[in-house]
Amino acid sequence: MTCELLKHLTEERGSNLMLGFIIRPPHQLLSLLLCPGLRIPRLSVLCAQPRLRAMAVSSSSWELPLVAVCQVTSTPDKKQNFITCAELIREAARLGACLAFLPEAFDFIARNPEETLHLSEPLGGNLLGEYTQLARECGLWLSLGGFHERGQDWEQTQKIYNCHVILNNKGSVVATYRKTHLCDVEIPGQGPMHESNSTIPGPSLESPISTPAGKIGLAICYDMRFPELSLALVQAGAEILTYPSAFGSVTGPAHWEVLLRARAIESQCYVVAAAQCGRHHEKRASYGHSMVVDPWGTVVARCSEGPGLCLARIDLNYLRRLRQHLPVFQHRRPELYGHLGHPLS
């Protein structure tokens, strides 16, 4: 790649979604300056100073779709978890987002497999009904990143699915993906994780779903360690990859950002990763650091410590230009190394 092309792409990425204004009606007395690093703590509004950048911001950037990435600390208290998530979703709607992303286990994080199974619900249960009503009330699409679902085989298996649910702004379920790679690992210093004790792996991938922000490919947490999945989703048309997560305190600092940026670069997609954070109970804590990564691999939005949300604008024209300038999918040599990610049927 020439220096001129690299400079061109960097400048395009720079103007991609770094700044945006949302001006509220006068009676609300609210004027917000949005930047990619802006984190909105729960139940508060911040005015942030923009980072100084040598770039021009085109007026069209204000019209790009805005997404909100929510960071929470789920506990075994399902009612309180919903209250926390609902506050963030309403805040996202007030800030002008078209889609809000919640992390894996947004519904609850239990102390043991028995409690997980006890607290789980079917998709037609009360909890998802509350989120359906919330999506309609806010006029917002929702990515519910990992719902403990009692499937149709619950009576036979007495196990659940880790289910990523997409609701549209009318509250309808438009897509579901059941986590295909279960986290059965033992990391020194982090404690054992045996997801398969209570969970069944999903049988298939879900085709990318069209949303106001772009075509979203669904995944969950541990799935990010398998690039074949992301490659299959992008070959099926994905423009945004989602990895709602509950990363641990040891793997988080070492692998979280590296893996997310790698998935963005190799797939040339936006990556949106809503994360659990903090201590859920005496047995478990999560790393946090929810973020959005652009197709160039730059972190354009990030949450810091504690519950809150961050905002990013999605520029699909920038994504398409990047793929045109750097056409890696046209350069693949499957005759040498096989198809690492088969397109979805």
Q: Which of 200, 167, 208 has its CA nearest to residue 85?
A: 167
Question: pTM of this prediction?
Answer: 0.84
* Distance from C-alpha of 195 to C-alpha of 178, rounded to nearest angstrom: 13
Per-residue pLDDT of the chain in tens (345 residues, 90 and over written 9) = 434 333 344 444 443 333 332 222 222 222 333 333 444 443 322 322 222 222 233 335 678 999 999 999 999 999 999 999 999 999 999 999 999 999 999 999 999 999 999 999 999 999 999 999 999 999 999 999 999 999 999 999 999 999 999 999 999 999 999 999 999 998 888 878 899 999 999 999 999 999 999 999 999 999 999 999 999 999 999 999 999 999 998 999 999 999 999 999 999 999 999 999 999 998 898 999 999 999 999 999 999 889 999 999 999 999 999 999 999 999 999 899 888 777 676
φ and ψ at residue 78, rounded to 5 degrees:
-65, -40
**How many beta carbons lie within 10 A of that of residue 304, not counting itself?**
14
Q: Which two tokens stand for residue 44?
A: 């508060």
Euclidean distance between CA atoms 76 and 280, whole angstroms: 8
Q: Where are the domains of the chain?
A: 66-330
- Sequence-ordered list of residues with C-beta below 8 angstroms from that of 271, at least 6 positions apart, any chain: 240, 241, 242, 243, 260, 261, 263, 264, 292, 293
Pairing of strands 240-242, 270-273: parallel
Active-site positions read 104, 179, 221
In this prediction, residue 33 carries a pLDDT of 31
If one counts every other C-beta atom within 10 angstroms of the C-beta of residue 47, the result is 9
Instruction: Look at the domain 66-330 and name its fold.
Output: Nitrilase/N-carbamoyl-D-aminoacid amidohydrolase (3.60.110)
